[in-house]
Amino acid sequence: MGMVGGGRGAFIGGVHRMAAALDGQIELVCGAFSSDPAKSRASGSDLFLPPERSYGSFEEMIKTEKTLPATQRMDFISIVTPNHAHFGPAKMALENGFHVVCDKPLCFSMEEALELEQLVRDTGLLFALTHNYTGYPMVKQARAMVRNGELGKIRKVVVEYPQGWLATRVEESGQKQAGWRTDPKKSGIAGCMGDIGTHAENLAEYITGLQIKELCADLTTFVEGRLLDDDGNVLLRFDNGAKGILHASQISVGEENNLNIRVYGEKGGLEWRQMEPNTLLAKWMDKPVQVIRTGVGALSPEAQAHTRIPAGHPEGYLEAFANIYRNFAHCLQARLENEDPDPVYQDFPTVSDGVRGMVFIDKVVASSQAGAAWIGL
């Protein structure tokens, strides 16, 4: 793996490196860790990379790695930069024959998203998007239960992602993560909805297997002087007739990362919360609430395949993140060996999921600007 971004002072780069390394399938061999060449090379030294593979730019990295023998060059790049810096390295990597793992949202604009999707189609290369919450075993259990018809036809979906860390103008303090997320030149047309609302949208579509058909959105910027939304409420209509509510907020004081989802069908309902990720509640009309736990009982093959340790040993954020990387690595290894990957490991978000997220952002902003008008996706 070669990494773009994630150098000194970055948060998500370290998360990606830990997740990629967890199962011993991926080795970091090179990187362009900063737009500042000196900082990039210093970051490479921090990670014990040889100086000649700590590059001053992603362009230099891709061009140089391509000249190396196949047994020595990187196999794929991992892009862990702010939104505005996703497209360039992803496009160049694909054009030069390298597979891609990219942080979400997919890129800065809808035009960039569609171009990347077409490039992936044209090249046939692998592209994974790190919607890491889909990696939790109990999320996969929920998805399997919906697919197997245990809930019956889905009628209602309620998904929420409240945080409180941007309840004040933290970006003015020099806080790096707040700085770029609230800057429309780096984040794009949405703030909260682009950052965490897309996670809620992706989780709802992933678990239910449905797609949002129409939405009605009301975005607000509560913190005075902030340029992008920090709170949003969205009504949803799904393609099977189900209705939904999506709420994302970064000014909900006291909330941490309280992503949660409730799915209701004709025969039963499911509830999952990221703050207690090893538990899935199944609710029925004619029997008590069922508590389903990671590693306990007869779980779906998908949930079992993404559980690493015995019950009672909590698996969380890093392990879920690692499931994306492990599945990607399995598929890439199979491709390198001209084999078909096990279908259970082909389960990771793709460039098309990224395009869905970008469409969601575009339509949410358009709906809100039109006075909470209903808009089709």
pLDDT tens for residues 122-179? Answer: 999 999 999 999 999 999 999 999 999 999 999 999 999 999 999 999 999 989 999 9
Report the side by side order of strands in the sheet with 2-4: 30-32, 2-4, 76-79, 99-102, 127-129
The 3-state DSSP class for residue 43 equals helix
Q: Which residue has 């939304």 as its token pair? A: 229
What b/e sequence results for 60-92 when a residue is b if at least 16 CB atoms lie within 10 Å of its CB, and e otherwise?
ebbebbeeeeeeebbbbbbbbbbbbbbbbbbbb
All CATH 3.30.360.10 domain ranges in the chain, comma separated: 133-332+355-369
pLDDT tens track for 308-334:
999 999 999 999 999 999 999 999 999
Closest CA to 260 of 250, 275, 249: 275
Residue percentage of the chain with pLDDT more than 70: 100
162 forms beta bridges with: 249
Q: Is 48 exposed, middle or buried (0-12, 13-18, 19+ CB in 10 A)?
A: exposed
Residue range 37-54: mean pLDDT, rounded = 97
In the predicted structure, residue 255 carries a pLDDT above the cut 90: yes
Residue 125: phi, psi to the nearest 5? -80, 160
pLDDT tens track for 330-372:
999 999 999 999 999 999 999 999 999 999 999 999 999 999 9
**If you average pLDDT over every residue of the chain, what do you get?**
97
Residue 157: CB partners within 8 Å, gap ≥ 6? 204, 208, 210, 236, 238, 242, 243, 244, 245, 261, 262, 263, 264
For residue 225 the two structure tokens come to: 């002087």
All CATH 3.40.50.720 domain ranges in the chain, comma separated: 2-129
Whether this model's pTM surpasses 0.75? yes
State how far the alpha carbon of 45 is from the alpha carbons of 5, 48, 109, 210, 252, in Å: 14, 5, 34, 46, 39
Query: Which amino acid appears at position 37 of this protein?
Result: P
Residue 360: CB partners within 8 Å, gap ≥ 6? 193, 197, 198, 201, 212, 215, 377
| Banded model confidence at residue 9, pLDDT cuts 50, 70, 90 | confident
For residue 161 the two structure tokens come to: 């992602």
Q: What is the CATH number of domain 2-129?
A: 3.40.50.720
Whole-angstrom Cα distance, residue 276 to residue 280? Answer: 9
Q: Is 283 exposed, middle or buried (0-12, 13-18, 19+ CB in 10 A)?
A: middle
The 3-state DSSP class for residue 249 equals strand
The 3-state DSSP class for residue 300 equals coil
**Element housing 76 (H / E):** strand 76-79
The predicted structure's pLDDT at residue 206: 98
| Banded model confidence at residue 21, pLDDT cuts 50, 70, 90 | very high
Domain 133-332+355-369: which CATH class? alpha beta
